[in-house]
């Protein structure tokens, strides 16, 4: 195992054992519940969006280390972003999960999930929180989102 794999594993376990932004938002204007029926992972994501920017995001849920650490990383990454930037981040994350080369300069801890693409059964675990975020933005805050930006 390379030292990079080891570092990535430690980053994932850190987010799993000490998740960032876990809890509830009192004044959320988007609440999205998603479940991965394959493995039982489930997440409830709440976001507060003002003036086209994600002011806050929190999640609750249960699942494997990959799904919960991904939710932790995602909520950290999207706070303060414009909704378009958050959707772009989600798009690049999905592409990374498919093994495509993407710009990861702004990924920070998210890059630790890169190795998940080698385990197809775990990709849905990693993308669950991201799909919840995309759904929340598209359903609650996106009058101008184009449909070709949507991917499954």
Among 152, 20, 44, residue whose Cα is nearest residue 91:
152
pLDDT at 140 over 50: yes
Is the dihedral angle over the CA atoms 107, 112, 117, 123 positive or is it negative?
negative
The reported pLDDT for the residue numbered 97 is 96
pTM of the model: 0.90
pLDDT at 147 over 50: no
**pLDDT tens, position by position, 56-84:** 999 999 999 999 999 999 999 999 999 99
Q: What are phi and psi of 15, to 5 degrees?
A: -70, -30
Assign domain 3-143 to a CATH class.
alpha beta
Q: Are strands 53-62 and 30-35 parallel, antiparallel or unpaired?
A: unpaired
Of 2 and 136, the one with more pLDDT: 136
- Spell out the domain ranges in the chain: 3-143
Q: And the tokens for 88?
A: 């772009």
The reported pLDDT for the residue numbered 141 is 66
């Amino acid at each position: 195992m390379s030292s990079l794999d080891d570092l990535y594993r430690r980053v994932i376990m850190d987010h799993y054992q000490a998740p960032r932004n876990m809890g509830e938002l009192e004044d959320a204007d988007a609440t999205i519940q998603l479940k991965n029926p394959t493995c039982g992972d489930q997440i409830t994501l709440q976001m507060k969006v003002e003036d086209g920017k994600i002011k806050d995001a929190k999640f609750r849920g249960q699942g494997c280390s990959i799904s919960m650490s991904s939710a932790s990383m995602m909520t950290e990454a999207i706070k303060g972003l414009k909704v378009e930037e958050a959707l772009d981040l989600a798009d690049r994350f999905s592409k990374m999960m498919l093994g495509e080369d993407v710009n990861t300069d702004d990924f920070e801890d998210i890059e630790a999930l890169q190795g998940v693409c080698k385990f197809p059964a775990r990709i849905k675990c990693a993308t669950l929180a991201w799909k919840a975020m995309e759904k929340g933005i598209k359903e609650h805050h996106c009058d101008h989102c184009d449909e070709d930006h949507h991917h499954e």
